[in-house]
Amino acid sequence: MTAGQPAPDRFRAYGPRHLDEIAARHGLPDDIRETVRRISLVLPFRVNSYVLDELIDWDDVPGDPMFQLTFPQRGMLPADDEERLAKLSADPADRPLLREAVQEIRARLNPHPSGQQELNVPTLDGARVPGLQHKYRETVLYFPGQGQTCHAYCTYCFRWAQFIGDADLRFAAPDPGGLLGYLRAHPEVHDVLVTGGDPMVMSTERLRGHLEPLLDVATVRTIRIGTKSVAYWPQRYTTDPDADDVLRLFEQVVASGRQLAVMAHFSHPRELESDLARRALARIRATGAVVYCQAPLIARVNDDAATWNALWRAELAAGAVPYYLFVERDTGPYDYFKVPLARAAEIFADAYRTLPGLARTVRGPVMSATPGKVVVDGVEETPEGSFFRLRMLQARQPSLVGRPFRARYSATAAWLDDLELDPATPADLAAAVRAGTAPEGTPR
């Protein structure tokens, strides 16, 4: 380190136990602090000094989008639940009742705690391969066991059940052995998407242990890493003790002749404004890795066209590629965050219209559902009424990829299962869509 420069931040996670410290340091009003305390009994939060100091605008809480993104809020739970939590937490004698109430509220918010990880788990020689999901022909998702948390939590994240310890973590892979066996048996898989949690919470040594063996598998042509680290802890690529090592690891993957894609999760243009974030992006790009950007559309965080337009422009300016805008799925405080499909399509179209051509690589709004990834291309007015124009961007069955279809327009529908398909939809497509419309986890 150069003399005279401040010592770089070392990563430290802050949670509900540090709420008073955070509130005092950033001048959080008492009433908001108490709301956060109550709601966080049910919905976890986790932040770090970078999120607190660089991303949140404390003069604008609670409305600030980064505060909404990382702290639990009034309105995320029904008012009577919040009251009940307030009452029971006032008296230490009520502790057992409080614990019961928390369990009960959580169970209502998350009826299928382990459903997410159980889907699309492939088998090899008749045994399930933990830590893998294989849904689309080209791509296998890989969940390394030590990468199942994040630098900070997003309040809308469907992984919250995992973060409170409800979901079964045995689905994750202790080591890449199962993945390697599966890839050798499935040469049609060319793409491994390493996801979590956030794989970039791992030390470089650990990450190397998961990635390096893939370089011996000739059929693997691309490796993707899904991560929010550039937004939530850019020090991972700048000042962390093993920041240089991780960049060297990226270079090594690129030097092997493979495409390395960092699938970066950016929710708001502010996440690209800090010098650290820009330096992190520049350093990642200098390794030869390509940065693709994606995020869900979330009420109160980024539900307006100007925000997305600014975000995609900022990504392009940083040399990154806008990739997907997702529709938020039903989990946790879904009613708080959801945006109807009609509104999502409008926001997307308005934000897209004035983009430079090079930023029009982005697609959305996209629902990641059981049959595949379905994009809402817009609304079509016909003599028979209005319809959503939909298209399969990804499908379990390759024959369905790219196929357009329609559903009756609805101003309030927020997911595929709220939609009424046009009766003229081709039978194979209609069958696939009707067979399952449930949301499936969206890897980043």
Q: Which residues bind ligand SF4 (CB under 6 A)?
A: 150, 153-154, 157, 159, 197-198, 228, 265, 444
* Residue environment code for 123-147, b if the CB has 16+ CB neighbours within 10 A, otherwise e: ebeeeebbbbbbbbbebbbbbbbbb
Q: Which is nearer to ligand PLP, 88 or 344 (CB)?
A: 344
Q: Which is nearer to ligand PLP, 136 or 352 (CB)?
A: 136
Positive or negative, the Cα torsion across 359, 273, 296, 243? positive
User: Which residues, numbered 323-342, are part of the site for ligand PLP (CB under 6 A)?
Assistant: none
Provide CB contacts within 8 A for 281, sequence distance 6+. Answer: 230, 234, 272, 291, 318, 319, 320
Phi, psi angles (nearest 5°) of residue 322: -60, 135
Report the alpha-carbon angle 399-442-266, nearest 5: 125
Query: Given the rule CB under 6 A, which of 134-142, 225-233, 254-262, 401-409 is the region that contacts ligand PLP?
Result: 134-142
- Pairing mode, if any, of strands 127-128 and 139-142? unpaired
Q: Which is nearer to ligand SF4, 425 or 442 (CB)?
A: 442
Task: Report which residue's Cβ sits closest to ligand PLP.
Answer: 135
364, 387, 398, 408 from 422: Cα distances, Å: 21, 8, 22, 6
Q: Which is nearer to ligand SF4, 22 or 295 (CB)?
A: 295
What stretch of H or E contains 19? helix 19-26
Binding ligand PLP by CB under 6 A: which of 48, 68, 116, 133?
A: 133
User: Closest distance between ligand PLP and the C-beta of residue 222, in Å?
Assistant: 9
Does residue 136 belong to the site contacting ligand PLP (CB under 6 A)? Answer: yes
Partner from ligand PLP, ligand SF4, none binding residue 394, C-beta < 5-8 Å depending on class: ligand PLP
User: Closest distance between ligand SF4 and the C-beta of residue 141, in Å?
Assistant: 13
Report the alpha-carbon angle 344-348-352, nearest 5: 175
Inter-axis angle of helices 19-26 and 30-39, nearest 10: 150
Q: Which is nearer to ligand PLP, 136 or 250 (CB)?
A: 136
Q: Report the alpha-carbon distance of residue 137 to residue 284 in Å, rounded.
A: 28
Binding ligand PLP by CB under 6 A: which of 146, 148, 239, 368?
A: 368
Q: Which is nearer to ligand PLP, 178 or 372 (CB)?
A: 372
Q: Are 48 and 19 in contact (CB under 8 A)?
A: no
Write each residue from 188 to 207 as x if it is in contact with ligand PLP (CB under 6 A), else as -, in one continuous string: -----x--------------
Binding ligand PLP by CB under 6 A: which of 35, 68, 110, 139?
A: 139
Q: How many residues bind ligand PLP (CB under 6 A)?
A: 11
Instruction: Please name the amino acid found at residue 61.
Output: V
Q: Which is nearer to ligand PLP, 147 or 443 (CB)?
A: 443
User: Closest distance between ligand PLP and the C-beta of residue 190, in Å?
Assistant: 11
Binding ligand PLP by CB under 6 A: which of 141, 272, 339, 345?
A: 141
User: Closest distance between ligand SF4 and the C-beta of residue 197, in Å?
Assistant: 6
CA 98 to chain centre: 30
Of 323, 370, 325, 322, nearest in space to 343 by CA: 325
Q: Taking the CA of residue 432 as centre, how many other CA atoms within 13 Å lie in the half-sphere pointing to its CB?
A: 22
Instruction: Give SS3 for 292.
Output: strand
Binding ligand PLP by CB under 6 A: which of 38, 46, 106, 135?
A: 135
| CA-based radius of gyration for the chain | 22
Q: Which is nearer to ligand SF4, 153 or 352 (CB)?
A: 153
Partner from ligand SF4, ligand PLP, none binding residue 47, C-beta < 5-8 Å depending on class: none
Q: Which two tokens stand for residue 72?
A: 């639990």
Q: Are 293 and 303 in contact (CB under 8 A)?
A: no
Partner from ligand SF4, ligand PLP, none binding residue 368, C-beta < 5-8 Å depending on class: ligand PLP
Chain residues in the site for ligand PLP (CB under 6 A): 133, 135-136, 139, 141, 193, 368, 373, 394, 442-443
